[in-house]
Structure 1
Amino acid sequence: MIDPNEIVEFNGQLVAIKDIPSAQIRALYGLGHLPEPGREVIPNPTGEAWPYRPEDCPRAAEMTGTWINDGQYLVCPGCGMDGT
Structure 2
Amino acid sequence: MPDNTSLRELMLKGDIEAPKGPAGTLVMFECNTMHGSNMNMSCWPRSNLFFVYNSVENGLVNPFCGNRPRPDFLANRKDWSPLKPVS
**Bin for the TM-score computed over the shorter chain:** under 0.3
Computing the radius of gyration from Cα coordinates, the structure with the larger value is 2
TM-score, normalisation: structure 2: 0.24
| Structure holding more strand per residue | 1
TM-score with structure 1 length normalisation?
0.24
Greater relative CO, 1 or 2 (CA 8 Å, sep 6+): 1
